[in-house]
Structure 1
Amino acid sequence: MASPKMLKLHEVLAEIDMSRAAFYRMRARGQAPRLRKLPNGQLRVSRADLDDWWENCGQSAA
């Protein structure tokens, strides 16, 4: 089984066209995709989590 695609935070921010500060404000409100911290301290977001988050954003706007 292949491991899930993990995106770097700057890749996520570029894809959703959002600043780091805005992302962290959303995260503080519990409205951002789940971040995972690697043992080396780097942050990642799984492709599946980001896709689910995008889908839920569209539903809440309707």
Structure 2
Amino acid sequence: MGKRSGNFLTIPEVCEELGVARSTFYDWRAKGQSPRCVRLPNGSLRIRRADFENWLNDLEDAA
């Protein structure tokens, strides 16, 4: 797995961890089904590790 940026994950890191294509992540995002994202001033997205973990836990509870 790539280098971690502290408490924030990049989209490629999230996709790699989940084993999904980037297009799948953006489909989820368009449908409001992705973890919460933070948009940086340069336009790139980051996901807080805690938000990612909470999102996964919520999916597990719903299954």
Structure 1 and Structure 2 fold alike (TM over 0.5): yes
Which 5+ residue runs of structure 2 have no aligned equivalent? Answer: 1-5
Instruction: Return the offset for 1:57.
Output: 0.8
Q: Which has the higher contact order (CA 8 A, sep 6+)?
A: 1
- Across the aligned residues of Structure 1 and Structure 2, the Cα RMSD in angstroms comes to 1.2
Within a 5 Å distance, the mapping from 1:1-62 to structure 2 comes to: 5-61=7-63
- Compute the TM-score of the two structures, normalised by the length of structure 2: 0.82
**Which structure: larger Rg?**
1
- Compute the TM-score of the two structures, normalised by the length of structure 1: 0.84
Divergent runs of 4+, >2 A:
none
Task: Report the count of equivalent residues.
Answer: 58
% of aligned pairs identical?
41
